[in-house]
Amino acid sequence: MKAVKWFFAFVAFILIATMLNYFLPSRDIVKINGTDVKRMDISKGSPFWDRPDAGTNREATRDVRFINAERANGKARVYRNEDTEWSFPFYFKFDSGDLNAQAQSLAKQDEQWVAVRHYGWRIKLFSIFPNATSIKKVSGPDVFLIPWFNIVFLSLLAFILFSIWRVINRWKTKNVDPITDKIEEELSEAAKTVSEHADAAGDSLAKQGSAIGRFWRKLFGTTKPKA
């Protein structure tokens, strides 16, 4: 039973960690090379795409803005630039047009490094792109940025989960454990009683068998063989 509980706990941990890794913000230090707009056929309800610009029609085929960038090691980095509006994930992004204009301006500035704040993954096989939420100028490719939001969010999440666990554990100790202990005690007593009755019944059968054996030996004039 414990193995099953640990298995489901492990699966739940992996799912939560995967969701946090996808939806929590990250920052890349890159140089902006330019922007692009592509007409995309997006499946309804796809979790890897957000929403068109606020106030526009929600069609399956629509234009999606992209920001093209380059890392310090020369590797390309591509971000989609979509509004999240009021829906999950709650980044409340309504300024994808302004962000696109900012990226175009930065692309004209040589050797200007920026921190692109985004969430999501880049998976080339499935045409999945991270969604850029903001762009900020930085001094260079080696700048160190502390992820304060993630630190605070994960700390609060850990505190909430620990508080929930404590409440559940206290309720279990107060309400569930006494019942299970009583059931275990009653089952133990029942098993002991059954065992005692079984022993008594065994002794009774042994005595009856011995009496029957003596009767037949007397009847036929035989004696009990020696061991």
pLDDT in tens, the chain (227 residues): 678 888 998 999 999 999 999 999 999 999 999 999 998 877 666 777 776 665 555 666 888 999 999 999 999 999 999 999 898 999 999 999 999 999 999 999 988 999 999 999 999 998 899 999 999 999 999 999 999 999 999 999 999 999 999 998 888 888 877 777 777 777 777 778 877 777 666 666 666 656 666 655 565 555 555 55
The domain tally of the chain equals 2
Question: Are residues 64 and 120 both part of a single domain?
Answer: yes
Prior bond of 89 cis (ω within 30°): yes
- Asked if residue 226 is part of any domain, the answer here is no
- Asked if residue 19 is part of any domain, the answer here is no
Residue 110 phi, psi (nearest 5): -70, 140
| Helix, strand, coil abundance in the chain, percent, nearest 5 | 50, 20, 30
Using the 3D structure, point to which of 110, 126, 145 is the last residue of a domain.
Answer: 145
Question: Are residues 133 and 36 both part of a single domain?
Answer: yes
Structure tokens at 74: 């020369």
* Residues written for the chain: 227
Question: Are residues 38 and 134 both part of a single domain?
Answer: yes
CB 195 within 8 A of CB 203: no
Residue-range definition of the domain harbouring residue 181: 148-221
Q: What is the identity of the amino acid at 95?
A: D
- Asked if residue 116 is part of any domain, the answer here is yes
Question: Are residues 95 and 185 both part of a single domain?
Answer: no
Q: Return the pLDDT at 225.
A: 56
- Asked if residue 4 is part of any domain, the answer here is no
Q: Return the pLDDT at 202.
A: 66
DSSP reduced 3-state for 188: helix
Using the 3D structure, point to which of 128, 145, 162 is the last residue of a domain.
Answer: 145
CA distance 19 to 58: 25
Question: Are residues 74 and 138 both part of a single domain?
Answer: yes
**Quick one: how many helices (H) and strands (E) in the chain?**
4, 5
CA distance 209 to 224: 13
Q: Return the pLDDT at 105.
A: 96
CA distance 137 to 115: 6
In this structure, the number of other CB atoms found within 10 A of the CB of residue 94 comes to: 14
Using the 3D structure, point to which of 111, 145, 179 is the last residue of a domain.
Answer: 145
Question: Are residues 56 and 167 both part of a single domain?
Answer: no
Question: Are residues 161 and 197 both part of a single domain?
Answer: yes
As a whole number of Å, the CA-based R_g of the chain is 36
- Asked if residue 84 is part of any domain, the answer here is yes
